[in-house]
Structure 1
């Protein structure tokens, strides 16, 4: 009978430990989704919409004819614009208590929009880093690299590769219907049996490989600029600033998201993972999602360093014309008043 008592007490202790664990397991991730995500996505939507519409307008009206870098920049702004246009749906979704009311099709459109922007931006920035690397390493080929055909080829390749990377995700983004609500699950929260290997493959090919390419370009640019009499030329200095900014975007925006997404998937799929660990990893992953979306802010800064006279066009659009119009109106009003003062009395 003694081993029966031991087994009984062991089961009782396990049940108490399980109950205590779930009692201490806070819903911090749910709070993050309810309050953090709507605010973050709302800010990104407002700034991203204004910034990208303005950038596209400047490229279309003031920076023609385009070079290869201009075409890549416009492509980058378009992908960012498509992403920010999907954010109001997510703001409403998370503000509405994590309940999706727009159907399965819109669920897939919104979730795919985020990943299309993410990997489209990664590949576009990688192309820019490679182009700047070629300009610095071999200045004689700078004119050839700046031809429009290379920008069209690069953007076509970016769209095709991005579509190939995220197409399998269509089978993993799920629209889950429960008793109380309908959820539009994120890719990392998918119940698909293939989510683990696909997550690792997407991280390796969609992020780590471009990161290695960007890092190699950065090292090459730095080494080349450290030697030679023309190392401080405006073209080369601009290329270094662009490459550094691209590397910062990869490390600050993309790296945390991919690392925490892998942890999120693994913590869900591993057996007997403590509830608090799952919740904490999920909360950290939630923080990283808007952080990945902040690449739209860095892209806005990138336009001013692209070498396409974007800064001058921006200033001429929003400052010079405004002040000239204001000065003209003031002068016109002064002339009218002066004329009125000199009119003879009747």
Structure 2
């Protein structure tokens, strides 16, 4: 059996919410939330009239990812609801959510699914630039139920900065949440510590569209999710896994595989799992450069850089070098009192000389995907253009 597909304007999250309610109940079409920014050209418009998917598919997340390769991730109702149940169990109960992420991003869509599972209506931040005080005003309307929200690190950084600059409303909002999920990219420890000093309960999440959103909270798999390390790469199993990629059976077969009676998802992330089950993510396996004959994991360089004053939101990219092959370059939106020499020394002390950044480039704004992640394809092009 099949069901039709329905594209819903993600700038109207209340309509996505209603469409998801029908889809999860089995009565409506599978939902494709889409922003105007990702509207395909006429020649590549999808879905085509009359196109259908398997009956169990409730949501399709379209994403170009940080590498620019498009994907259409098909998620079943069972996977979405399993994720919502695991999240509620990890957080200590269901509650009411403030949606501050785009509804076409899996973490935003999952806020809607969790709200449906809890039989509550979320509060919608809406579109436009993220403003800490507007967020705080909306948080005050959440009521007496348990309060939750899901953010990316950039948003948390703006809230923390506003609170540290004396906004009592933002401080009250941060303290009022029973849980603030932060995902989409690595959360640096310095920002987390600042938020927790203000009284916020921060939960760092790890997951992807292929796992129906975050499935590891603060390094611990939630629900019945299992994580293992194979050849230095992380793999995930459990009821939250996507069905695969629509229209791309080869990628589906390469990414999902069966072993030992379980279905596993190859994340493409470098990491390890400790004896007691704690998951540590090092970074993307495709975000590695060779500098002077040595492998340099740019995500690891970025983590060190984020700990330096003025570089909390910086991004590290690899650029060609006549002498070394490739070198790391730090891209930041604002100037800092930390010098390149100090930055190089801090990175070299932790990761070795090959990882030391060659330059600091200021680029405002840093191009980002709708999820808040740096758009590394656009960023690399901008850096090359600036250096030329």
Per the shorter chain, which TM-score range? under 0.3
Bigger strand share: 2
Structure showing greater relative contact order (alpha-carbon pairs closer than 8 Å, 6 or more residues apart): 1
- In terms of fraction of residues, the more helix-rich structure is 1
Q: Greater CA radius of gyration, 1 or 2? A: 1
TM-score with structure 2 length normalisation?
Answer: 0.20
So what's the TM-score if we normalise by structure 1? 0.21
